[in-house]
Structure 1
Amino acid sequence: MLPVNLFNLLSSRAGALQRHYAAILLRIYDLAEFNRFGLTREVVIAEIVDYLTGEGSEAMTTPPAGDFDSAEGEPPPPTGDVQEYAGWILRRLVEAGWLEREQQADYTEFVILPDYAFTLLEAMRAIQQNKPREYTGQLYAAHQLLTSQSDDFSPALALTQAYENVRQVVRGLNELNQNIRRYTERVTRDRPVAELLRLQYEDYSQVLGHAYHALKTSDHVSRYRRDIIARLQVWQLDNDTLSRIADELATQGRLTPAQAADEVRHYIQFIIHQLESLDPLLEEIDRRHAQYLRTSLRHIRYQLVSADGNFKDRLASLARHLAALQGEGEKYPPAEMPVFQTPRVRHPDRDSLYTLPRRRAPFAPAPVIRPLLDPAEVMTLRAATLQEMGQAITPARIQRFVGQFFNGHRAIHIASLPPDAFDGEEGLSWLIYTIAYGNHPEVNYELEPLPGEPVALGTVRVKPFRLVKRDA
């Protein structure tokens, strides 16, 4: 749970000191981010004093109106003593919950940032620096994790890390999509040409342009998507691999085997579903990007063409200029003035007046001529048609193909079939038809699934089953 008054210092209640509180917190966060030994109170006070005597000097001269509430703590000290003022700011940050104090055995006081403060300040710094989200490398990392062939490969660790990386990728793409919409809405407002050009060539390209360019070129998601999905689908069909991942995850995450198995299935399905459904999101990003460019250029063109504003303003400006010319004694407009656009005059002709409707001529269809075929050509076409009909797949043909394997037996295991029964592309087609027609009412056999490992048939592996003759 977050402290109740945590955001009071960053809200409108903080008045003029609102941005100074945020700047000081970010400075303390920079000190504490990679500090190994902790921050003493003296170090934090020195950092606040450095800010108050530098870029935040106006905080010392600005009365903290609306910043102090008598129910919250001590009143602010006089603004003349920077050390006392820095100590007062530090106490306010501790009271609000952004910082905590810890006293050692030798009475040395350390200032600590709580865990939630690290998370919130990292988000605030990312917003302040206005950096685009880097998500393309995460998809590459997920690809390397899942396709690794090293001896110390841990499938549970690879799956959990890949899940987090793919989750960040999808989140980054949605963030990119929403930012494009935000910029599109911003350029639709009334802005001068200079501001529109800055948004077009500076702000937009710096915030979204590089990420969008990398998304469509070097780090395109399709480079890694196929391999990731193929590996996860292999894991889905391998019960031993799923059990091993679940056991390892249960050991690492303190979960029961059943909970770990559910987590593994959820991770795999989430990654496959998100990667397979990225195409509509990428199309939406393309559409919004093109919409932004069209809208921005249209507004720039309109501003350049209509430099004096809308039609009402231009009409008033024209009237003022004509009045000025009339006041100077001019009777005619200047020679460089554009001429008025006059519509072209068209003379009436015989089609200008109303004409009575005319009756259409009766429809005369063209004669139908039936071509005569040569008898030899007729025989050739008939033979080709009979050959195509003979190659058509029917239940009777499938039954004849499967019946040759029974050899007097009532049931036969799929592993007992001849090794070359389903070789090549034609054999793969017969295997598909054999399985597909297994429950057809017009064939005299059926398929019974069996437990065990997948069996290699031709170029594919299928779950074991047996062919059983139906009773006549």
Structure 2
Amino acid sequence: MTGGLEVKCEVAGKWFLVRGYLPLPGEYTLIKEFPGGVTVNLFAVIPERLFSVLSSRLKEDYAAILFRIYDQYQLTTFGMERDVVIDLIVDYMEQKDQFFEQALADEIWEESLDTPAGSRDRAAFILRKLESTGWLAGEVYSNYVQYISLPDYAIKILDVLDKIRRHRQVEYQGFVYATYTLLHAPEADRQGNLALEKAYEQTEQLINGLKSLNHNIKRYIERVLAEKEPREILKIHFQDYMTEIIDQSYHRLKTSDNVSRYRPKIVARLNQWYGDPVWVDRAANLEVQRERYPDLSAARQGIYRSLDYIRQAYTGLDDLLEEIDRRNARYANASFQQLKYILNSSRDTEGQLTEILKFLAEQRTSGGKRPDEQLPAGLSGLFGFFTQEFLSTDSLYTGREAVRHHQPQEVHELETVDPARRQERLRHFQQRLERRMTREKINAWIMGKLAGREEIYARELGIAEMDDFIKLVYASAYSRSRRVSYRVERKDRPRVTAAGGSFEFKDLRLKRK
């Protein structure tokens, strides 16, 4: 037939409008997309050779150049002049060594059978290659000046890659609170569709972030188990893991952005809307007016799907949080056991077995051998390791015994305590209480050191003996408490020494709250 046909279709819960010709199936043209759009082949959206530059010999250099252009592009309104982009590439090339120049010359010769001598000519080759692969796009404006811009897909991809290379962690603080605020805002009943849409996005980011946190803890477990130096294990634990996982993510998840603070009210509001057909119809009408759904029935289904997703996400969040807790505990145990294994120098049975295992591990991996290769001929028959599937009375392992309940004997006569001994015990107990490092004592010590100042550095605290050093450790540990009047900045602080080099610590900055 020659006449056109417009059809509203639903594919995997996503609506779109197409115009085609009978008999169907046949050629069709997309007229309008509804929520989610149409799922198409990935390389129908991005160029087929887009990732070729990131898999070439100069992939690190191409990536660095793209990030430089991306950083500069964010500061512009429309785009960058072509000469400015050439200057950026030339500036990068001038910082490289002769190996880069030779590799670039070989690539230019392979692709164009040319050997440009000037740096701007070589930079122009790189720019043309980034344009041909689809990372950059050129356009001539009305002033006859050629500008370079980044396509929309390139901006999204570079944004994700930039976050990965900078190790940017998801900030969980605010996701739950933002969802609660959106659902309970005064305008939520009148513009419920917008409130629900934004709450859906916040919930999706929260769930994806928690999954990433769970995976990151697993990655740290693998890093710790692969390390052989105690210093590196301690660095991973007290610097990398504490900064990236505990301070930025896990601590906030357990305190300021705790799910339990807002979850009951979030679920209650979702249940209220779910059981209110008037509110659902009003929100569905607004979605149809925004042309996000083709009709009222499809809009209602979309509203109910969003309500279900958020409600199920929050009601089932405990399983994910428990898995994060278990993995965090598993990381702490793995870090301790690996450190204990490396530092074990005792001569008991455990220490001797540790030395034997270390020797066998060195024999397997020395000389470029793979870990799965056989031991040398003289050692292969000495040991037979196998997995013990069950325990019996003949097993070497001594099983744990159940807790035995103590049966106290009846007291017939009361013993008298010597008054002098009582006073001595009380005095000893009083001294222990005075030496105890409480939050109140540490807070008073820091505030006394501040003496009217707004901030003070650790090097100015007068660390002269062990008690002073212990107070500094407690001051850092108690800084997150609400019961102290100061806070501590640890990030990027240099290390200093005190008492003639007897103590070494970070030069923490302690500020008055």
TM category (shorter chain) comes to: 0.5 to 0.7
Q: Among the aligned pairs, what percent are the same residue?
A: 37
Q: How does 1:50-449 map onto structure 2 within 5 Å?
A: 50-54=91-95, 56-57=96-97, 60-64=100-104, 67=107, 70=110, 73-75=111-113, 77-78=115-116, 81-150=118-187, 153-209=190-246, 210-255=248-293, 256-306=295-345, 310-311=355-356
Asked if the contact 2:171/2:249 (under 8 Å) is kept, the reply is yes
Q: Offset at 1:77?
A: 3.8
User: Does the C-alpha gap of structure 1 residues 6 and 314 become closer, same or farther in structure 2, counting only changes over 3 Å?
Assistant: closer
Per-residue CA deviation, residues 141-170 of structure 1 (Å, 9 max, x unaligned), is: 111111012599511100001001101100
Alignment TM-score, normalising by the size of structure 2: 0.57
Give the whole-Å Cα distance in 1 for the aligned partners of 2:123 and 2:304.
54
Q: What amino acid maps onto 2:72 in structure 1?
A: L
User: Does the C-alpha gap of structure 1 residues 5 and 314 become closer, same or farther in structure 2, counting only changes over 3 Å?
Assistant: closer
* Counterpart pick for 1:2 among 46, 49, 56: 46
Give the whole-Å Cα distance in 1 for the aligned partners of 2:188 and 2:269.
17
Asked if the contact 1:20/1:59 (under 8 Å) is kept, the reply is no
Give the whole-Å Cα distance in 2 for the aligned partners of 1:119 and 1:49.
25
SS of structure 2 residue aligned to 1:3: coil
SS of structure 1 residue aligned to 2:139: strand
Give the whole-Å Cα distance in 2 for the aligned partners of 1:152 and 1:245.
9
Q: Which residue of 2 aligns with 1:47?
A: 88
Alignment TM-score, normalising by the size of structure 1: 0.61
Q: Which residue of 2 aligns with 1:35?
A: 76
Aligned residues: 309
SS of structure 2 residue aligned to 1:136: coil
Give the whole-Å Cα distance in 1 for the aligned partners of 2:157 and 2:305.
29
Asked if the contact 2:109/2:115 (under 8 Å) is kept, the reply is no
SS of structure 2 residue aligned to 1:107: coil
Q: Which residue of 2 aligns with 1:370?
A: none
User: Does the C-alpha gap of structure 1 residues 75 and 282 become closer, same or farther in structure 2, counting only changes over 3 Å?
Assistant: farther
SS of structure 2 residue aligned to 1:254: coil
Give the whole-Å Cα distance in 2 for the aligned partners of 1:287 and 1:236.
34
Asked if the contact 2:172/2:253 (under 8 Å) is kept, the reply is no
Quick check: 238-247 or 221-230, which moved more?
221-230
Asked if the contact 1:196/1:296 (under 8 Å) is kept, the reply is yes
Asked if the contact 2:65/2:89 (under 8 Å) is kept, the reply is yes
Q: Offset at 1:186?
A: 2.4
Give the whole-Å Cα distance in 2 for the aligned partners of 1:283 and 1:239.
36
Q: Offset at 1:193?
A: 1.5
Q: Offset at 1:57?
A: 4.9
User: Does the C-alpha gap of structure 1 residues 58 and 203 become closer, same or farther in structure 2, counting only changes over 3 Å?
Assistant: farther
User: Does the C-alpha gap of structure 1 residues 65 and 184 become closer, same or farther in structure 2, counting only changes over 3 Å?
Assistant: farther
Give the whole-Å Cα distance in 1 for the aligned partners of 2:333 and 2:165.
29
Per-residue CA deviation, residues 288-312 of structure 1 (Å, 9 max, x unaligned), is: 0000011011101111124998326
Per-residue CA deviation, residues 2-41 of structure 1 (Å, 9 max, x unaligned), is: 2111111111xx21x2111001101111111242132110
Q: Offset at 1:138?
A: 2.3
Asked if the contact 2:90/2:123 (under 8 Å) is kept, the reply is yes
Q: What amino acid maps onto 1:99 in structure 2?
A: L
Asked if the contact 1:192/1:303 (under 8 Å) is kept, the reply is yes
Q: Which residue of 2 aligns with 1:363?
A: none
Give the whole-Å Cα distance in 1 for the aligned partners of 2:187 and 2:306.
22
Q: Which residue of 2 aligns with 1:455?
A: none
**5+ residue gaps in structure 2?**
1-44, 363-513
Q: Offset at 1:69?
A: 8.1
Give the whole-Å Cα distance in 1 for the aligned partners of 2:154 and 2:337.
44
Asked if the contact 2:227/2:233 (under 8 Å) is kept, the reply is no
Q: Which residue of 1 aligns with 2:486?
A: none
Asked if the contact 2:139/2:146 (under 8 Å) is kept, the reply is yes
Give the whole-Å Cα distance in 1 for the aligned partners of 2:217 and 2:227.
18
Q: What amino acid maps onto 1:275 in structure 2?
A: Y
Q: Which residue of 2 aligns with 1:422?
A: none
Give the whole-Å Cα distance in 2 for the aligned partners of 1:312 and 1:82.
56
Q: Offset at 1:242?
A: 0.6
Give the whole-Å Cα distance in 2 for the aligned partners of 1:45 and 1:214.
44
Per-residue CA deviation, residues 351-393 of structure 1 (Å, 9 max, x unaligned), is: xxxxxxxxxxxxxxxxxxxxxxxxxxxxxxxxxxxxxxxxxxx
Give the whole-Å Cα distance in 2 for the aligned partners of 1:10 and 1:239.
52
Per-residue CA deviation, residues 58-105 of structure 1 (Å, 9 max, x unaligned), is: 5653423874584xx425644x52211211111111111111111123
**5+ residue gaps in structure 1?**
318-472
User: Does the C-alpha gap of structure 1 residues 27 and 58 become closer, same or farther in structure 2, counting only changes over 3 Å?
Assistant: farther
Per-residue CA deviation, residues 383-411 of structure 1 (Å, 9 max, x unaligned), is: xxxxxxxxxxxxxxxxxxxxxxxxxxxxx
1:22 and 2:63 equivalent? Answer: yes
Structure of greater Rg:
1
Query: Aligned Cα RMSD in Å?
Result: 2.5
